[in-house]
Structure 1
């Protein structure tokens, strides 16, 4: 059950698809989002969620992990293959989040139940402020050692082999390569990728960085991302 049902500040109009098999909860979430200025659709199972996501092209999908028909993991992966919408996944337990990130679901953010309706709206608002691939200004590729990052095409190559990254992994790597000599704190990375008003556990940065490192190392075991003890992370030499 969500808490904190109160009037929210006006938000820019956007379409949010709410997916949860708890019909009362889904209705309450949709109602609160509508009061905050969003247009909403609702689905109660995985099959219908995929149908609506592809037919209506929502800006954000609020997706519960436990669904009948197709679970949230399958739904997320199917939507991600054919859509660039933002996906906020809901889970019942905090410990599920690290596992979901490790599975590279393609979700952009995660929340655990029970949650505050106000925080949910804030998370949706933060996601909508993150740049999509088609909003990136023209910028030349960046080369650091064996790594090459294309900000416009959102591609990463290591020794000319393309590395498949999630949106968040790419965004973190893009921030690090933009300032390759700077040691960035977790908070700086959070502000750059999730937004300065993002509310959540900064430990997620470590989890995403860990999976990013493993994907890059699978192609070439080189120092791409360095840990700066007591500070955060810095781009490595890549050679």
Structure 2
């Protein structure tokens, strides 16, 4: 369930939006002034903030700027002021979108869906990248790089590195690495893992620097933060 914060001082408008969004199965909390809304925005996690421009106490532009100074929570501004200048001020303050009043609830829902899709795309992009210090693996492109320099790996080396980077701070036994990277039916000995770890170290480590891959004697290997 998506968590929505509505900061709106017009009680009738706030009630209308609250009821409509609850009907759409959103969890929604309403604040009726800028200070209360700002405290809620900074104190909890929200999927989107619906923010009125004209608020008592602290106006919407200032609330938006203060939120954006510390958080990336998507913000959609709601306001009766629809001049180009007002829209520019709102967007420049850090709002992700701007919808003038009066509006149909269908339009607000459509704008929110755009925000949610953008969040999902960003999260998917983050999941496709593994990073450890200067070492980076782009899972979609299957490209390994260090300090922006591409490192050429064989398939086994790549699969072994990905397994280790997906399990940072977790010690992985040689048997488990062998089964995962080479497969249960592979006719190879566990010392092949040691050989490939050595290959990887030669390619990803820097001289006189600690190895990315640490040996846990008698067990296996780990990459630690």
Question: TM-score, with normalisation over the residues of structure 2?
Answer: 0.52
Higher relative contact order (CA 8 A, sep 6+): 1
Structure 2 counterparts to residues 184-195 of structure 1, below 5 A:
none
Shift in Å, 1:24? 1.6
Root mean square deviation of aligned Cα: 2.1
Give the alignment partner of residue 125 of structure 2, picking from 124, 133, 136.
136
Does residue 98 in structure 1 map to residue 104 in structure 2?
no
Does residue 79 in structure 1 map to residue 79 in structure 2?
no
Gap runs ≥5 in structure 1: 1-12, 141-239
Q: Which runs of 4 or more aligned residues in structure 1 lie more than 6 Å from their structure 2 counterparts after TM superposition? A: none
Which whole-Å deviations, capped at 9, do the CAs of 1:151-171 have from their partners, x for residues lacking one? xxxxxxxxxxxxxxxxxxxxx
User: Are the counterparts in 1 of residues 77 and 90 from structure 2 also a CA contact under 8 Å?
Assistant: no
Residue in 2 that maps onto 1:220: none
Give the alignment partner of residue 34 of structure 2, picking from 16, 37, 46.
46
Gap runs ≥5 in structure 2: 131-225
User: Are the counterparts in 1 of residues 65 and 94 from structure 2 also a CA contact under 8 Å?
Assistant: yes
Shift in Å, 1:93? 2.6
Size of the aligned set, in residue pairs, is: 127
| SS of the residue 2:119 aligns to | coil
Distance 1:80 1:27 in 2: 26
Distance 2:124 2:39 in 1: 26
Shift in Å, 1:109? 0.3
Give the helix-richer structure, 1 or 2.
2
Does residue 113 in structure 1 map to residue 101 in structure 2?
yes
Question: TM-score, with normalisation over the residues of structure 1?
Answer: 0.49
Distance 1:19 1:99 in 2: 18
Residue in 2 that maps onto 1:215: none
Residue in 2 that maps onto 1:158: none
User: Are the counterparts in 1 of residues 90 and 98 from structure 2 also a CA contact under 8 Å?
Assistant: no
Residue in 2 that maps onto 1:203: none
